[in-house]
Chains A and B, each alone.
Chain A
Amino acid sequence: MMKYQDYIHSADDGIEPVIKRREPCIPDDYDKKNEFDLANTGRRYDHQFSSMYQSRMNSLKSRVDEQAMAKWGNGTLKRDGQIIQKVDRILNITSNKLCWVSGTVFCDLGNKLNILNDVKGGTDDVLPQIPDSYRSQDVGEVVMLEDESGRAVLEGDEFFKENILVTGVIVAVLGIELQAGVFEIIDVIYPSVAPQRSLPTVSDRQGTKIAFVSGLEITESVNYDLKLELLKQYLQGEIGESDDKQSVAQISQVVIAGSSIKELEQANNDDYHSSNNYGSKNISRFSAECLKSFDKFVSDLVATCSVAIMPGESDPTDICLPQQSLHKSFFLTCKNYVGKNIKALTNPAWLEVEGVRYLGTSGQNVNDILKYLTNEMRQDPQIVFKVMAGTLKWQNIAPTAPDTLFCYPFDNCDPFTLSNETPHVYFVGNQSKFIDKCINLQNNISVKLLSIPKFSQTGEIVLLDTCTLETQIVKIVI
């Protein structure tokens, strides 16, 4: 058994060789770089959200119908002795006949936020408390399929144990209407997958590493986490010996996937009547000290590595998706490098590294979908992977927006729909645990799914080799 003294290295001659880091791998410009950027004048709320749903429907219904027609046909195929018929509208479903129909899923859950209730209670002008789960013990859950003509309640206990359907998803369902308005679901079809660019060959890629980290939740200095300091020193190459340093030098880019700043804990104030919206009671969610700490962290890091920063749930930017990049004023000591060494990204954001296309979010989309699920489903260790895979199958990375996920009321478009491209790598930040899995979609399209654990809780960051797309965890333990 070796003692620790055996591992202590002695400095050779007191001269430290200068080790150079790999060049940053995210180019200054690439396709879809500004996919989720909004002009200042674009952040408006004078549109109806229905336009967004309609746009989603228009975009995905034909793709769903195409898939359903290929699998189920229209009067050409039989299942359990019954001919499968296509029904154009939900209203035209005939009872006791096997058919398929496409539409938008709507989940009516007891704990979902309801603006009408807020208006009734006079609390529609304050940010509602987001529940941990939209499911209620008291109120039964109803999953429906709707189109322009009407709604049908989807029934099928066994089906819903295996499949996830949340509000906003465009699907085609096969089943039988057992009674008026109640549709027993047997099978489901998702939209055809948007094309994927051809992956550059390994030889064309240099093979650097990207460090993905999320949920730093940097606080003021008195509550600063030593893990953050160790992370910074690790990325600077100060921790460990020469072998460690050589390994770290392979990291050419750090991507911070949201929730970099710790929000202040707000006392619950339900006394809306006496609260003063413009007075001392309407205090900020953020502390200037936290922002200073974050600025110091980034400025210390940018001295040695390029940093790309996505905003997240707890960051000082828009609450609505797509969250716009953090303002450069937050980077007080290093604002000159914002745009070059510091890339302020949106959430979601597309990245391109050596021809490999990445799509990432800071996790709100997945975390919101998890609130639709039963406790049993959420206990599944692979549930985050299933949800991530679901968003790709549904071809919409944030289907629950705008129902339960705040987003801008887009007019005649839905930016979260994968309309013309499927990424090679799809990462989601601020998750409870690390997941690295590939999912095979139609037409030999394969996507690597990465869930980036929350650093403040796990102390983990993810290193991704841009050449092999293999990952490695770096864990900092105190």
Chain B
Amino acid sequence: MTMGDSQKEVEYISDKLFKDNSIVSYSQLSKDLGVPLSRSKEILYNFFKSNKTKLNASFIITGTVKGAIELKFVEFEDQVNEHLKAFDKVSSVHIYSLSLSEFKYSVKDLVLNQLKIQVSVDKLDYYYDLGMIKGPALVASSNSLLQPVKAEVVPINNSARSPTNVKQEPKKFNTGLSSGYVSRKQQKPAPIGSDITKMASTKRKAEPVPKYQYKSRKPATQKPDKVVMSHDYDNDDEHADLDVAKKITKEDKTKLSAMFEDDFSDNDGNVNELEEPIMAEDNEDENVELFKMEADEAKPAEVGVEEVEAPEEGMTNFELEQPQEPEYDEDGYIITHRPKPKANKAAKSANKPKAPSQNNAPTEIGSAPPSSKIAPKTGNKKQASLMNFFGKKK
């Protein structure tokens, strides 16, 4: 330590070594205190000379070995002279770091200490003044420089599928996460320049329109007056269930549920076997009428609860099992109620329409009297008779 070494620098080194028990390197000292690099090496070396017994110093030797420039890192001071012998020509020797000798710091510790030193591009002039070589001015590039240039080596047939084309193709399927829910909250447009709009602008340019949205195939003018009936048991449309379920009395529920359990039960097909045919027979005339009406119009199968204008559609076997005195609305249409089916999964799958195009069962049944459903009184499997109701696939 010499008189030239200011108190501030000495205190810095002392604090680092004796209080923080850490390593001090020449570059760290230089950048933290704004001391030129050559000066920081000198200060560090002077400090080491003054406290040699307590400290360990690592050194850097620069020079040439067999014609090649070599930078040799020497971990301990007592090895430096030995390593000097390997050099053809020594350019310089300077201290690299200091640490307390009582702590056995490894090279890894030194590296971790060095990695804490950050070089900020905002303070380049500061670093240049300390001794870093002044490089070319940093020039921010435009994004266009990064855009890939069309390869000369790859003639590309743009008509073929490409990643960009694929992106533009509408997805046929959507798992529903983005399409099902539409908020009923009134959307307030975000003010221009607000954070929300900024965030949105940084996201996707165009959110994909949900592909799986139900659209009635009926003309728009045929708006329904009422929800008349449920068609598809398998379609768990909650809205349909809510609407219909409100109208179902507790008694109906019990009765109908019991009937369905029996119908779709795989365990014992003999119990209550006769109930269904009896109900169907009582309603036979009405049902025939209804089926004839249904036969006039083909109905898509994906409809869960079809909002219809007329009773022509949505008729199911469930209608056969309605009470003998049907309800009529003010227009004279039959109102039927759908109980919440309690049938097991097997029953559900049996009743599930296979495909939209196959949902022409009412037409077939319309041509065939529903007595075909009544016939198998002795059958053990009610499920089979239920399927017969839909008729054979064409």
Asked whether B71 lies within 8 Å of A337 as measured between CB atoms, the reply is no
Query: When each residue 1-37 of chain A gets 1 if its CB lies under 8 Å from chain B and 0 otherwise, what string results?
Result: 0111001111110111011110110000000001111
Which residues from A are CB-within-8-Å of B146?
Answer: 328, 338-339, 344
Which residues from A are CB-within-8-Å of B71?
Answer: 230, 234, 239-240, 474-477
- Which of B131-139, B228-236, B269-277, B320-328 interfaces with chain A? B131-139
A241-B38 contact given A18-B129, A337-B141, A340-B141, CB 8 Å threshold: yes
Which residues from B are CB-within-8-Å of A19?
Answer: 133-134
Which residues from A are CB-within-8-Å of B251?
Answer: none
Is A366 positioned at the interface, with any CB of B under 8 Å from its CB?
Answer: no
A-B contact count (CB 8 A): 241
Interface size on B, residues (CB 8 A): 74
Which residues from A are CB-within-8-Å of B252?
Answer: none
User: CA of A20 to CA of B131 in the docked complex: distance in angstroms?
Assistant: 10
Is B385 positioned at the interface, with any CB of A under 8 Å from its CB?
Answer: no
Which residues from A are CB-within-8-Å of B42?
Answer: 9-11
User: CA of A238 to CA of B152 in the docked complex: distance in angstroms?
Assistant: 43
Which residues from A are CB-within-8-Å of B70?
Answer: 474-477
Asked whether B133 lies within 8 Å of A248 as measured between CB atoms, the reply is yes
Report which of A2, A247, A302, A328 forms a contact with B138, defined as CB distance below 8 A: A302
State which residues 384-398 of A face B: CB under 8 Å: none
Asked whether A222 lies within 8 Å of B141 as measured between CB atoms, the reply is no
User: CA of A41 to CA of B121 in the docked complex: distance in angstroms?
Assistant: 36
Residue of A4, A18, A410, A477 most packed against chain B (CB within 10 A): A4
State which residues 31-67 of B face A: CB under 8 Å: 35-39, 41-42, 45, 59-62, 65, 67
Report which of A4, A225, A299, A413 forms a contact with B80, defined as CB distance below 8 A: A4
Asked whether A39 lies within 8 Å of B132 as measured between CB atoms, the reply is no
Which residues from A are CB-within-8-Å of B65?
Answer: 475
Which residues from A are CB-within-8-Å of B93?
Answer: 4, 7-8
Interface size on A, residues (CB 8 A): 86
User: CA of A327 to CA of B145 in the docked complex: distance in angstroms?
Assistant: 12
Asked whether A303 lies within 8 Å of B80 as measured between CB atoms, the reply is no
- Can you name the residue of chain B whose Cβ is closest to the Cβ of A39? B150
A35-B72 contact given A8-B93, A225-B111, CB 8 Å threshold: no
Which residues from A are CB-within-8-Å of B156?
Answer: 39, 41-42, 44
Which residues from A are CB-within-8-Å of B61?
Answer: 4, 7
Q: Report B240 CB to chain A, min CB distance, Å.
A: 36
Which residues from A are CB-within-8-Å of B107?
Answer: 226, 478
Which residues from B are CB-within-8-Å of A328?
Answer: 146
State which residues 271-320 of B face A: CB under 8 Å: none
User: CA of A472 to CA of B92 in the docked complex: distance in angstroms?
Assistant: 19
User: CA of A2 to CA of B62 in the docked complex: distance in angstroms?
Assistant: 15
Asked whether B135 lies within 8 Å of A303 as measured between CB atoms, the reply is yes
Query: When each residue 225-238 of chain A gets 1 if its CB lies under 8 Å from chain B and 0 otherwise, what string results?
Result: 11001100110111
A305-B92 contact given A39-B151, A238-B37, A339-B146, CB 8 Å threshold: no
A11-B153 contact given A229-B115, A233-B27, CB 8 Å threshold: no
Is A133 positioned at the interface, with any CB of B under 8 Å from its CB?
Answer: no
A221-B133 contact given A4-B81, A410-B154, CB 8 Å threshold: no
- Can you name the residue of chain B whose Cβ is closest to the Cβ of A305? B135
Query: When each residue 291-307 of chain A gets 1 if its CB lies under 8 Å from chain B and 0 otherwise, what string results?
Result: 00100100110111110
Asked whether A11 lies within 8 Å of B27 as measured between CB atoms, the reply is no
User: CA of A338 to CA of B140 in the docked complex: distance in angstroms?
Assistant: 8
Asked whether A46 lies within 8 Å of B160 as measured between CB atoms, the reply is yes
Considering the complex of A and B, which 10 residue pairs feature the smallest CB-CB distances, nearest first? A339-B141, A339-B145, A237-B133, A16-B36, A473-B68, A7-B93, A415-B153, A241-B92, A304-B135, A340-B139
* 27 A/B residue pairs, CB under 8 Å, sorted by A: A7-B90, A11-B36, A11-B42, A16-B131, A20-B133, A24-B136, A37-B150, A38-B148, A39-B156, A41-B158, A42-B154, A226-B73, A236-B132, A236-B133, A238-B132, A240-B94, A241-B62, A305-B135, A328-B146, A337-B140, A339-B141, A339-B142, A339-B146, A341-B136, A475-B69, A476-B70, A477-B72
